Structure 1
Amino acid sequence: MAHVTGDSRTWIYQLVKRYNKWGTKSLGDGRRHNQGQEAILTDLQQAQLWQVLCEKSPDGGLWNGRQVADWLSDIMSGSIGLV
């Protein structure tokens, strides 16, 4: 079965276990019920970020992740880490 679906044997066993415990409702994609985390930036901060990104970066080139994180750290008065 794992070969047919392209899923690992472990994942197939997990699906079977969930199906045996909760039935067909356990087989759907549950991500749609996950509302996610609250946004870190306010609407105003998002608008400011968008405006800044439309301009050149501080070094005159394109923005990179480190520069965006530094800019966000400045406006949020805290450290923003890169994931």
Structure 2
Amino acid sequence: NGEKLEGPNRISIDLGDSHISHPIAKYVNHSCKPNANVCHITKSLVAITTVRPGDEITFNYLESERQITTPFDCNCGSSECVGRVE
């Protein structure tokens, strides 16, 4: 459960029509080939690949965020990398 915000910010996650800020969100980064997805039904982050201890948790911001408030150059290293997230 996170705090519902009026609008998006750098660490919020879009869930339906809401923008949620959760303390752990600042530790979850973008990847063009993520190991987790945002589930809008359960309002949770769900692993889509095996995540081992020490693995970074990532999701694709472009698949869930309607607005990227702070565009950035992606350095995920994936062969599927989009280059710029905006």
Same-fold call, TM > 0.5?
no
TM-score of the superposition, structure 1-length normalised?
Answer: 0.22
Point out the structure with max Rg over C-alpha: 1
In the superposition, the TM-score normalised over structure 2's length comes to: 0.22
Higher relative contact order (CA 8 A, sep 6+): 2
Higher share in helix: 1
